[in-house]
Structure 1
Amino acid sequence: MQRMLLMIGIFFGVMSLFNNRYRVINAFLSKRWLRRLSVALVMRIPAVREKMMYQMLR
């Protein structure tokens, strides 16, 4: 019973995050250090970095 309640709670938590995903992303990126960290992490992905550099230097 406890496991079932946990699964239901996780399900509703994920659904609420999905429904408010843009608010969550805006709240996350409104912090300067989190924005810098996320950009640094994304730029470590070779395909993303190459595409960004190609578009910037075109």
Structure 2
Amino acid sequence: MALASPLLVMAVPAGLAACLATRVNPVDALRSTGQLLQALPGAEFTVEDESGTTLIRVE
């Protein structure tokens, strides 16, 4: 757990900067990241926004 804190300190600002640079809503990005982390092998989930839908399959 000690390694997680320094990684989070670096990942959060980098993620926010990436969201600002690509004009992605940070809340949507966080939600999608949570779905990705919860995905198990063989699981499928979709990410939907105004421009379309993306199906992601983890094998």
TM-score for both structures, normalised by structure 2: 0.36
Which one has the largest radius of gyration?
1
Larger fraction in strand = 2
More helix per residue: 1 or 2? 1
Q: Which has the higher contact order (CA 8 A, sep 6+)?
A: 2
